Chain A
Amino acid sequence: MTSVLYDAPGPKAKVRNWIYSGIFVVLFALVMWWALSLMAEKGQLAADKWTPFVTDSQVWTTYLIPGLLETLKAGALAMVIALPLGAVLGIGRLSDHAWVRGPVGTWVEFFRAIPVLMLMLFSSALYSPQFMDVPSDTRPFWAVVTGLVLYNSAVIAEIVRAGVLSLPRGQTDAAKAIGMRKGQTMAYVLIPQAVTAMLPALVSQLVVILKDTALGGALLGFAELLSMNRQISANYSNTIATLFVIALIYIVVNFALTSLASQLEGRLRKSKKGTGAVLGAEEIDDPVPGANTAAGA
């Protein structure tokens, strides 16, 4: 495989590449050696810091697996609630009536501009005894889910809008030509195709949601995966090892979802069926923008 940026390496370039590789290996080894020796110096490499994850099944059954389940539960519930809400908002933003489009647009832009952490903190305060008095044991969970739903329904609204706009104009024209009304065009022609186009973007949004649940653990006392770090390291005083293992769990779960998203995207792009419109995982990123720049795919 070659790139357009460089020629297939000849004998000289091959030697050069080996030299660069060598330099990189040396630098990388130096950094690793420095990091490992520092860890060894602080006793973080000692076997008893790491073996609990292999020998002590309780670490998994009491902390890590319940934590992961809480994370998945909050993420899945937030996604399930945010999806229909986002669909309604997205369709509202495409409305022909200014009195629908305007307020919905403001709502969506407002909630996309605010950090999800602030929405979680606000929900948590709202669920306190002074206002809604949600039982204190489930309050962090509902605060996290509410924050995630408020933020992500706005993001999903943009995904839906971009998905509908990504379809060729001919679809709307054809629907009009056979006498469909606006609602029918949306319900029978545009949305079913847009859903397929949106799938990759939605799956990668799920990754964003899962990552954001960790905020609830850090500041609201939600017992999700990352917050287990405190309890495990309190038992074994192995902060680094625990963070390492927890990071690995996140990476495995999220990487699987990310791969699924890009696989879906590849399938849709190649597919002969449909219009070939697809909203890539990267096109609407977690990060979402002010204006409408990111949307129109």
Chain B
Amino acid sequence: MFDFLDSGQYDVLGAFWVTVQLTLYSAVGSLIWGTVLAGMRVSPVPLLRGFGTAYVNLVRNTPLTLLVIGCSLGLSQTLGINLGGDTFKETGFRLAVLGLIAYTGTFVCEALRSGINTVPVGQAEAARALGLSFFQVLTLIVLPQAFRAVVAPLANVLIALTKNTTVAATIGVAEAALLMKEMMENEAQALFAVFAIFALGFVLLTLPTGLFLGWVAKRVAVKR
């Protein structure tokens, strides 16, 4: 039943490795971008607040597929921005990461913002009473506590991101979903076996992440 795996024609592990890489780069990027956005959305400067709110509302309501395809068709093919990628493969990967960061950053931002709300008012008030500036209040007092409160929601975002990397298949990045599509077309008689392999791959990627980060979340949560 699984004999098509022996032909050496399909690099299943390689495809999942691309999925993992997509996830890791996008996770780091969207964590940074999301934190910046959250900082903007709570900042004392009205213009920055407005930009943050507008960005989050616009991007969150756009399909990720459109963002990724927009990166490929719009940025790369029409405007010639290839993000320093030399080959088609490299460019596609970077464009997919860009789209994923733009999209996932908004979810990180919203998770962090709700985390900021869990920090008791007294913390920020005490910090202000000591004369700390907004930037100091945010980075020294509020965000460290907020991050500890949002490990669980951020874990959900990370798991969603892992699954969302499959969208990169729409611009031809050779990750798991694209290989599955190809295998389903070529090995139609083994449809269920192919699906089982890839489903198992994703369960193996997402389940341990959820369990591990759930454990971390319990450990680091601020007991109030």
Does A39 contact B63, Cβ atoms closer than 8 Å?
Answer: no
A4 and B61 contact, Cβ closer than 8 Å, known pairs A126-B191, A290-B211, A293-B214: no
Stretch of B2-10, B92-100, B159-167 with 4 or more beta carbons under 8 angstroms from chain A: B159-167
Q: Are B79 and A289 in contact (CB under 8 A)?
A: no
Instruction: Tell me which residues across on chain B come within 8 A of A177, comparing CB atoms.
Output: none
Provide the bound-state CA to CA distance between A82 and B191, in Å: 24
Are A42 and B80 within 8 A (Cβ)? yes
CB within 8 A of A212: which of B63, B153, B199? B63
Q: Looking across the interface, which residue of chain A has its beta carbon closest to that of B198?
A: A118
B73 touches A (CB below 8 Å):
yes
Please tell me the number of chain A residues within 8 Å of chain B, measured between CB atoms: 65
CA–CA, A116 and B199, complex, Å: 11
Q: How far is it, in angstroms, between the C-alpha of A39 and the C-alpha of B75 when the chains are bound?
A: 10
Contact of B62 among A4, A239, A250 (CB under 8 A): A250
The distance from the CB of A236 to the nearest CB of chain B, in whole angstroms, is: 13
CB-CB under 8 A for A118 and B69, given A130-B188, A250-B63: no
- Chain A CB within 8 A of B203 CB: yes
Given contacts A24-B47, A291-B211, contact A44 B62 (CB under 8 A): no
CA distance A132 to B54 in the complex (A): 46
Number of A-B contacts (CB under 8 A): 197
Q: Assess the B203–A214 pair: CB atoms within 8 A.
A: no
Instruction: Let me know if A84 is at the binding interface, CB within 8 A.
Output: no
Given A5-B142, A117-B177, A130-B188, the answer on whether A251 and B202 have CB atoms closer than 8 Å is no
Within 8 A of A (CB), among B101-148: 107, 110, 114, 116, 121, 124-125, 128, 134, 137-138, 142
Complex contact A207–B61 (CB within 8 A): yes
Contact yes or no, B156 A288, CB < 8 A: yes
Q: Beyond A211-B61, A247-B66, A288-B159, list 19 extra A-B contacts (CB 8 Å).
A: A6-B137, A13-B44, A21-B46, A24-B48, A117-B166, A118-B199, A219-B181, A240-B79, A243-B69, A243-B70, A254-B61, A282-B110, A285-B153, A287-B157, A288-B156, A291-B214, A293-B155, A293-B217, A294-B156
A selection of 28 A-B contacts at a CB cut-off of 8 Å is: A5-B44, A24-B48, A25-B47, A44-B79, A113-B199, A114-B199, A115-B163, A115-B164, A116-B163, A117-B177, A118-B199, A121-B180, A121-B181, A121-B184, A130-B189, A215-B65, A217-B65, A240-B74, A247-B62, A247-B70, A250-B62, A251-B62, A288-B160, A289-B152, A289-B159, A290-B209, A290-B210, A290-B211
List of 4 A-B pairs having minimum Cβ-Cβ separation, nearest first: A290-B210, A287-B160, A254-B61, A218-B170
Using a CB–CB cutoff of 8 Å, the interface residues on chain B facing chain A are 42, 44-48, 51, 57-58, 60-66, 69-70, 73-74, 77-81, 107, 110, 114, 116, 121, 124-125, 128, 134, 137-138, 142, 152-153, 155-157, 159-161, 163-164, 166-167, 169-170, 176-177, 180-181, 184-185, 188-189, 191, 195, 198-199, 202-203, 206-207, 209-211, 214, 217
